[in-house]
A and B are shown apart, each in its own frame.
Chain A
Amino acid sequence: MTDTGKKMLEIRWHGRGGQGAVTASKVLAESAMSLGKQIQAFPEYGSERQGAPVKAFTRIADQRIRQHNQVTEPDVVIVLDPTLLDAVDVTEGLMENGTLIINTESSPAEIRQQMGLKGRTLYTVDATGISLRNLGKAIPNTPMIGALVGAMKLLDPKLVAEDFRVKFQGKFKDEIIEGNVQSILDASKEVRAE
Chain B
Amino acid sequence: MKKYFEATYDKLPLAGVIEEAGNAQGYETGSWGTFRPVFHEEICIHCMFCWVYCPDTAIQVEDGKVVGIDYVHCKGCEICSVECPTKPEKAITMEKK
- Chain A–chain B contact at Cβ < 8 A: no
* Partner-B contacts on A (CB < 8 A): none
